[in-house]
């Protein structure tokens, strides 16, 4: 089988180096039956990432962009280069069996690539699968979720942590299906299980599924594109699964942290787009309550930020950036 690994990177040179070492090490554990090709799309990094890839990993296909295309457009650029989303039959016929979208701030553990590919080989109806993720400190990261509802939005935005006497209840809510989570028992087990979508940090898609539903939606600069992709595949009878025996370490959000509040704006622009495009999947009450709930959550967070500023725990510049981002989110869609 042929697996194409696509890594879109921006200013995380040393993490990218570690990621690529782990990918090639994992690939070697299955090289008697699995062919792995790696493409790195560098989104105009200025930290020497592209020269590092060219010098250290000549076996990788390096695409050095002159501008930051964002996660979605950059992945689609690589997918087209692999033969997806093109009209020419000979290009489409040469496309790989499977594609793994992989963040540069990840580290593949042992033969995780082979385990994911084996699952897809043995389960031909699956459109997408993803591994068990861990943070850098070894803690479990939920790598697959249920599609978001009002409960998840409320738990995401309304500041509940630190409420006296309610810490245990808040923790249980945050780990519950209300917050889109699947159980730790499933993640720490060995049996694959269905999920609504897996994170784009490590998402393996079947080639024929990509041809069936098309490329990632470039209306999402970043965030929610994998949720949209998995939903489109699910609607064509190609479900998504988590494969907990395949493990990947995720040093989360190192690129997005460089522009924290701009990333927050992009996250909510993408969420509103997802809810608008897939409005038919949600009851009318959801759409009536969505924006009031967001306004409430951002209002409460804005009050908390002002209190931090008044106590000297937050600078005026940081407060301004945060409140400007909240105002921008509230302006989306009128």
Q: 18, 63, 79: which is closest to 216 by C-alpha?
A: 79
Mean pLDDT of the chain: 93
Question: pLDDT higher for 158 or 240?
Answer: 240
53 domain residue, yes or no: yes
Q: Strand pairing partners for 18?
A: none
116 domain residue, yes or no: yes
Same domain? 198 vs 327: no
Same domain? 56 vs 85: yes
Same domain? 274 vs 322: yes
Q: What are the pLDDT digits (tens) for 194-232? A: 999 999 999 999 999 999 999 999 999 889 999 999 999
Last residue of a domain, one of 223, 251, 279: 251
122 domain residue, yes or no: yes
Identify the CATH number of the domain in which residue 17 sits.
Answer: 3.90.550.10
Last residue of a domain, one of 197, 221, 251: 251
Range of the domain at 263: 259-331
The predicted model scores a pTM of 0.91
Same domain? 82 vs 137: yes
Tokens, residue 266: 């992009």
Same domain? 82 vs 111: yes
Mean pLDDT within 239-243: 98
Mean pLDDT within 57-71: 96
**Are the beta carbons of 61 and 37 closer than 8 angstroms?**
yes
Same domain? 220 vs 292: no
151 domain residue, yes or no: no
Q: How many CA atoms lie within 13 A of 155 on its CB side?
A: 18
**Are the beta carbons of 1 and 98 closer than 8 angstroms?**
yes
Burial of 310 (0-12, 13-18, 19+ CB in 10 A): exposed
Tokens, residue 151: 């409960």
| pLDDT at residue 161 is higher than 80 | no
CA distances (Å), 44 to each of 12, 65, 69, 71, 290, in order? 11, 5, 9, 12, 36
163 domain residue, yes or no: no
Same domain? 131 vs 247: yes
231 domain residue, yes or no: yes
Confidence class for position 181, pLDDT limits 50, 70, 90: very high
Return all residues near 181 (Cβ < 8 A) that are at least 6 apart: 142, 145, 146, 174, 175
153 domain residue, yes or no: no
Q: 150, 144, 137, 255: which is closest to 199 by C-alpha?
A: 144
Same domain? 60 vs 206: yes
170 domain residue, yes or no: no
Q: How many domains does the chain have?
A: 2
- Interatomic CA distance for residues 246 and 198, integer angstroms: 13
Q: What is the DSSP letter of 289?
A: H
Tell me the DSSP string of 87-107.
Answer: S-HHHHHTS-SEEEEE-TTEE
């Amino acid at each position: 089988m042929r697996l194409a690994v696509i890594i879109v990177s921006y200013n995380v040179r040393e993490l990218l180096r570690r990621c690529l070492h782990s990918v090639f090490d994992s690939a070697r554990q299955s090289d008697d039956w699995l062919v792995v090709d790696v493409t790195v799309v560098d989104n105009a990094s200025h930290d020497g990432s592209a020269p590092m890839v060219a010098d250290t990993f000549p076996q990788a296909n390096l695409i050095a962009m002159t501008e930051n295309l964002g996660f979605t457009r950059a992945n689609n650029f690589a997918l087209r280069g692999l033969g997806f989303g093109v009209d020419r039959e000979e290009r489409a016929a040469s496309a790989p069996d499977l594609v793994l979208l992989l963040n540069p701030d990840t580290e593949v553990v042992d033969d995780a690539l082979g385990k994911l590919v084996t699952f897809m080989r043995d389960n031909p109806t699956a459109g997408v699968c993803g591994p068990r993720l861990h943070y850098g400190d070894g803690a479990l990261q939920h790598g697959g979720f249920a599609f978001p509802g009002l409960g998840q939005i409320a738990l995401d935005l309304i500041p509940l942590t630190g409420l006296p006497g309610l810490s245990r209840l808040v923790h249980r809510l945050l780990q519950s299906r209300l917050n889109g989570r699947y159980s730790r028992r499933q993640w720490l087990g060995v049996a694959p299980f269905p999920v609504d979508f897996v994170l784009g940090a490590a998402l393996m898609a079947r080639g024929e599924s990509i041809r069936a539903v098309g490329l990632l939606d470039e209306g999402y600069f970043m965030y929610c594109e994998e949720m949209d992709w998995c939903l489109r595949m699910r609607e064509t009878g190609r479900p998504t699964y988590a494969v907990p025996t395949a493990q990947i370490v995720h040093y989360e959000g190192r690129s997005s942290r460089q522009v924290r509040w701009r990333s927050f704006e992009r996250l909510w622009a993408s969420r509103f787009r997802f809810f608008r495009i897939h409005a038919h999947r949600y009851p009318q009450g959801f759409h009536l309550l969505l924006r009031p709930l967001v306004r409430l959550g951002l209002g409460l967070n804005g009050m908390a930020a002002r209190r931090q500023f008044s106590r000297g725990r937050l600078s005026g510049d940081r407060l301004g950036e945060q409140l400007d981002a909240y105002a921008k989110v509230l302006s989306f869609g009128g």
